[in-house]
Amino acid sequence: MRAVNFFQKPEAEQLELIKTGNMVFCRAEPADKQKLVKMLQNQDEIPAMTGDGVNDAPALQQAAIGIAMGITGTEVSKEAADMVLADDNFSTIVSAVEEGRCIYANMQAFICFLISCNIGEICAILFATIAGFPEPLTAMHLLWVNLVTDGPPATALGFNPPDPDIMKQLPRPSDEPIMTRWLLTRYCLTGLYVGIATVGVFVGHYMSLGVSLSELASWSKCGDLWQPGNDLMCSDLFQGSGRMLPQTLSLTTLVMMEMFKALSAVSVDNSLIRVGPQKNGWLLLGVALPLL
């Protein structure tokens, strides 16, 4: 359809034709292109504009993303555009969209991994404090986990390959946060059971030595309110190696669960069966380094 004929129609009919999609306009003036872009934006669409001439510059600048030709395009159109196709090949746009979606997904994986790990550490200390148990992790343990253990796998998540169905996914809303409510809920639950497991291993060690939960909750009064069994002294349980062993168990549990979490973070939405960690060699290396 010629652009002049389209704009001669009533506004209601123009909007109805725009909503149907898949229309081809010919002999469009620069002002017509801007009108079309504005109409799409008023319909809450995200218009993209391709062009190579000087007259395309206004619409390229107004569109949500302007795409200029790198070989045949004028300098004016390149300056006005958000993206320049170096090979003037429209199929490159598809590759660019795939790469952009992959980068966004990797940012989500990076952020979600660190958030779930930190929530697990917070929960472990919080649960132990509320219950009155000894600290399952020291400040040095937490510093080591955050700086050494979490760093390499989190960085390696930035090299995740694209999901197999990444180009089949619907475009996300432009105002959607990178951390959605569903992802936040999902990783809060992940951090919750990491914290429970970390404290559970710590408590399980003391219970294997005959210390009950109520006695462990009043560990600072050992020797006054209660006496340990199995010919053990209070110092054997809560000082020196007696304290170091359960803390080591807690630290090992926390680190191993975080490493398994990293291996499962190759894809935010797909399972390990469909997108396994072997697809990201850097992640395997990033997980192996902290374990060494």
pLDDT at residue 1 greater than cutoff 80: no
Share of the chain above pLDDT 70, in %: 100
DSSP per-residue string spanning 253-284: HHHHHHHHHHHTTS-SSS-TTTS-GGG-HHHH
Q: Cα separation of 69 and 52, whole Å? A: 5
Q: Cα separation of 211 and 234, whole Å? A: 11
At 107-125, the pLDDT tens digits run 988 988 898 899 999 999 9
At 250-285, the pLDDT tens digits run 999 999 999 998 988 888 888 778 888 888 999 999
- Note the pLDDT of residue 130: 93
- Note the pLDDT of residue 142: 92
- Note the pLDDT of residue 123: 93
At 14-60, the pLDDT tens digits run 888 887 767 788 878 888 888 888 888 888 888 888 888 888 898 99
pLDDT at residue 291 greater than cutoff 90: no
- Note the pLDDT of residue 252: 93
- Note the pLDDT of residue 23: 79
- Note the pLDDT of residue 154: 92
> 164, 101 in Cβ contact below 8 A?
no
Instruction: Give the residue from 266, 259, 4 showing the smallest Cα distance to 161.
Output: 266
At 196-230, the pLDDT tens digits run 999 999 999 999 888 889 888 988 888 788 888 87
Query: Cα torsion at 22, 25, 29, 32 (round to 10°)?
Result: -40
At 49-100, the pLDDT tens digits run 888 888 889 899 999 899 999 898 899 999 999 989 888 888 888 888 899 9
